[in-house]
Amino acid sequence: MTAKAIRIGQIVPSSNTTMETEIPQILRLREMVEPERFTFHSSRMRMKKVTKSELEAMDKDSDRCVLELSDASMDVIGYASVSEKRLEKVTAENDHSAPVVTSAGALIHGLQTLNARKIAVIAPYMRPLTELVIDYIQDQGVEVIDSISLEIPDNLEVGRQNPMALCKIVQDLKIDGADAVVLSACVQMPSFPAIREVENSIQLPVVSAAVCTAFQMLQKLNLKTFVPGGGMLLSGKY
């Protein structure tokens, strides 16, 4: 008898094309070695340019998205922002309570799991937004010793980046003294195919917002976090 599929909900910015590809890719790899099976369901919020004002406007629409997803009784819901407690409250009030994993919170959780106190970061954003991300990370007790901003304002263009290009970009990142590297601080910038190669190259744990989101989703579901090809965080080698 086939087990009931686990329902993964995702609240996705309207111009995001990577959340619905990388996180399923990660969990499909897990299906090759573990018995659980997953289905993926999305609700979208308008957002075209990655700016502080558009991100704030987008977040106001997330309550509608999480309500729509909870109508279909998700097992866990991922969101490309913060606000997990507020969104979990919406699911509970809709009688389909589900844990909400945010990419920002999951990134911090992943770094804490690796005991990473000093990190280096690559982000696709314009520099002012990268600085806001760095401030958030450092407010959580993790020091950012270096960062690279790719200065890509168009969110669709972010999603078109070649993930393997990060193998070269990371060479310009100052990693002396770092405990880990964040290869992509944004769930829209593809990076998963490069995680293992960059780890082998720099001999440090390497994560991304998507990897950390998948990791915390599996934890919330009380499932093994092992994913083949997922790097140190998803292999338990930390």
pLDDT tens digits for range 213-231: 999 999 999 999 999 989 9
Could you give the C-alpha distances from 109 to 82, 97, 102, 140, 200, in angstroms and in order? 13, 22, 10, 10, 23
pLDDT of 60: 86
Q: Is residue 220 within 8 Å of residue 45, measured between CB atoms? A: no
Half-sphere exposure of 50 (CA within 13 A, CB side): 30
Give pLDDT tens digits for 148-194. 999 998 999 999 999 999 999 999 999 999 999 999 999 999 999 99
Report d(CA 152, CA 147) in Å as an integer. 15
Name the strand (E) or helix (H) holding 151. Answer: none
3-class DSSP state for residue 78? strand
Q: CA-based diameter of the chain, in Å?
A: 53
> H/E element holding 153?
none
Contact 152, 158 (CB under 8 A): yes
